[in-house]
Chains A and B, each alone.
Chain A
Amino acid sequence: MNLSEKTLKYIDGLIPRYPQKRSAMLMVLHAIQEEQGFLSKDAIEWTAQKLEVVPMAVYEVVTFYPMFRQAPIGRRHVKVCRTLSCALRGAYKVCDSLQHELGCGLGQTSADGNYTVEFVECVAACGSAPVVIVDDKLHENITPEKAPDFAAKIKKETTVSLPPSRY
């Protein structure tokens, strides 16, 4: 496991704040995923040692929470909310449009490795539906009519020099 000095320092500062080491689990996993893009078997074992639990205790957390993943994704992570308030304002059309424009199927990564488009459940921004999260940023009022322009904007921001999405 090669973690940057910065992430290691962050994790080492994090753990002692909690009354029990294991409580830092989600925060440590977020920190590793944000650096490495996903949680490898090595990362799971490393976290287990760090928090003094068996690797299974980490693995069961990684497989339970939707935000954690065990494989890399595209450079940009596009998450479309599909729950009722967004659906009522056209989220399914938005998602179809983004998949078409960015060249990938639902839950898949485009051939150039640039984009992963997924549906997610309610992200608590229902008053400005439909909403789309790209990497860690929320974009509001992305209506079906605006979706192609929105996709074009994402494309313009994305260059091959970008590392894979960490969020």
Chain B
Amino acid sequence: MPATERRIIYRHIDEPGYTTDLVCYQRHGGYEILRKAIQRQPEELVQEVKDSGLKGRGGAGFPTGVKWGFLDRKSGKPVYLICNADESEPGTYKDRQIIYKDPHQLIEGTVLSAFAIQARLAFIYIRGEMFGGFTILERAIEEARAANFVGNNILGSGYSVDIIVHRGAGCYICGEETGLIESLEGKRAYPRIKPPYFPAVLGLYNCPTIVNNVETLCQVKHVLDMGGKEFAKIGVPGDSGTHIWGLSGHVAKPGYYEIESGKATVRDLLYDFGGGPPAGRTIKAIIPGGVSMKILRMGEKFKVKLPDGSPGEWGVLDIPLDSGSFAQCGTSLGTSGMIFMDDTTDMVEALANLNAFYAHESCGQCTPCREGSLWLKKITTRVCDGGGRMEDIDLVKTIADQVAGRTICAHGEAVAWPCQSNVPKFRDEWEAKIRAQIHAREHPEGAATTARTGLRLV
């Protein structure tokens, strides 16, 4: 039986006749959850989120309720909520659909979460490039304010919160929560060092701050609708709810599919939803969730512990779509934006493409990341341009090893992981490519050519 979707967050996305205005949202039961929840105690709502086991959907997968529990209540300083709508992990485009097609769902989720943590001011930090999304959100907030779902004394409850939509200006690093906070303070988005700058204690303006992803805030709305314990029954233990999988790259039908956690496999995603690889091709590799996650090569086998506790073995296509399963295979589902690469893909070029991205996006604060990402870009690009040396293979791996864990923020890991996984897993391709280049340099008169053929990735 083919796997099916279970649309909770995306219930109305792309539904014919569904529009972004308040009237349409309310016709579909919009703001009813807020109406009920705002009569309850904020602590109860936090407990519901804790009970739900909801994990953040921004890539790191940290439990949302636990994050909220870290809030410093003793300082007496104001609490801020920031919605991270700076969607910029390559391969990820799930938040865009919510912002552009169902903005009120995000606003309701934001107000509910702000109420639960007792924030009086919330920000939605949206990518600068999403100009359309910015205007849609601004309009939606105006509508919600006019209807008293946002603003002063919401629905007569005595609770007030305002939402400011704030535009970024094209920086990947603003997706990192402390970088985002610096950016929102009007500075360069240099991530802060933790400790002491845990946002829940010393966040925006050094006040307690919670930063949550767009999808996470929408999930909160459904947690409060069903109740935490009911929500926890969706999916598998340890990863409740649904994941919105965004397929891209070499797949017949790229697109987004909301699937109950753990209830389908990579095979289902590729064949039942994605329509398989493009005609006549086979898939060579996948990156599970945003390009920073470690790559998987078709044919790899993983020794795993099955849900019943017995030992088992999975191939890449057998991996169930939940965070624990990907962790067992040495990678992570991250933001659940899966990129497929078929047999025409040059894996060295694919890595060079990503290295160019990371070199461009490193904020420049920490030396290992700033210099390392640039060296990695230069070396991999040189290999793509025909100047490869055999020692480059280990060099790439060594540099990556020296970036990871030596930086203030996780951008260091993001730089390192693609290199650390691509190089050992595709070493045969690296060697063949470089061997041909060496041969061509030694025999310039020969027919062998290192000119780039086919698809250029860098």
User: Does A24 lie at the interface of the complex (its beta carbon under 8 Å from any beta carbon of B)?
Assistant: yes
- Interface residue count for B (Cβ, 8 Å)? 60
Q: A121 and B456: CB pair below 8 A?
A: no
Q: A64 and B171: CB pair below 8 A?
A: yes
Task: Flag the segment in A1-9, A80-88, A104-112 that touches B.
Answer: A80-88
List A residues 114-167 near B (Cβ within 8 Å).
120-129, 133, 136-138, 167
User: Does A29 lie at the interface of the complex (its beta carbon under 8 Å from any beta carbon of B)?
Assistant: yes
List B residues 354-374 near A (Cβ within 8 Å).
354, 356-357, 360-361, 363
Q: B90 and A129: CB pair below 8 A?
A: no
Q: How far is the CA of A17 from the CA of B91 in the complex (A)?
A: 34
Report A45 CB to chain B, min CB distance, Å: 16
Q: Which one of B88, B205, B247, B254 lies within 8 Å of A124 (CB-CB)?
A: B88
Q: How far is the CA of A124 from the CA of B91 in the complex (A)?
A: 7
Q: B169 and A66: CB pair below 8 A?
A: yes
Given A61-B188, A92-B456, A136-B132, A126 and B254 touching (CB < 8 A)?
Answer: yes
Report B249 CB to chain A, min CB distance, Å: 4
List B residues 78-110 near A (Cβ within 8 Å).
78, 87-93, 95-96
Given A26-B186, A127-B254, A122 and B90 touching (CB < 8 A)?
Answer: yes
Q: How far is the CA of A40 from the CA of B391 in the complex (A)?
A: 47
User: Does A23 lie at the interface of the complex (its beta carbon under 8 Å from any beta carbon of B)?
Assistant: yes
Q: B205 and A20: CB pair below 8 A?
A: yes
User: Does A25 lie at the interface of the complex (its beta carbon under 8 Å from any beta carbon of B)?
Assistant: yes
Q: Which residues of B contact A129 (CB under 8 A)?
A: 248-249, 254
Q: Which residues of A contact B91 (CB under 8 A)?
A: 84-85, 122, 126
Q: How far is the CA of A13 from the CA of B361 in the complex (A)?
A: 32
Q: A66 and B171: CB pair below 8 A?
A: yes
Q: How far is the CA of A135 from the CA of B363 in the complex (A)?
A: 25
User: Does B154 lie at the interface of the complex (its beta carbon under 8 Å from any beta carbon of A)?
Assistant: no
Report A42 CB to chain B, min CB distance, Å: 19
Given A18-B164, A67-B169, A84 and B246 touching (CB < 8 A)?
Answer: no
Q: How far is the CA of A88 from the CA of B351 in the complex (A)?
A: 12
In the complex, 14 of the A-B residue pairs with CB atoms within 8 angstroms, ordered by the A residue number, are A17-B162, A26-B186, A61-B188, A84-B357, A85-B90, A85-B248, A87-B456, A89-B249, A89-B250, A92-B457, A124-B92, A124-B95, A124-B130, A126-B91
The 9 closest A-B pairs by CB, nearest first: A25-B186, A65-B169, A22-B186, A126-B248, A66-B170, A85-B248, A122-B90, A67-B170, A136-B131
Supplied contacts A23-B185, A123-B129, 10 more A-B pairs, CB within 8 Å: A17-B162, A26-B183, A84-B457, A88-B350, A92-B457, A92-B458, A124-B93, A124-B127, A125-B93, A126-B246
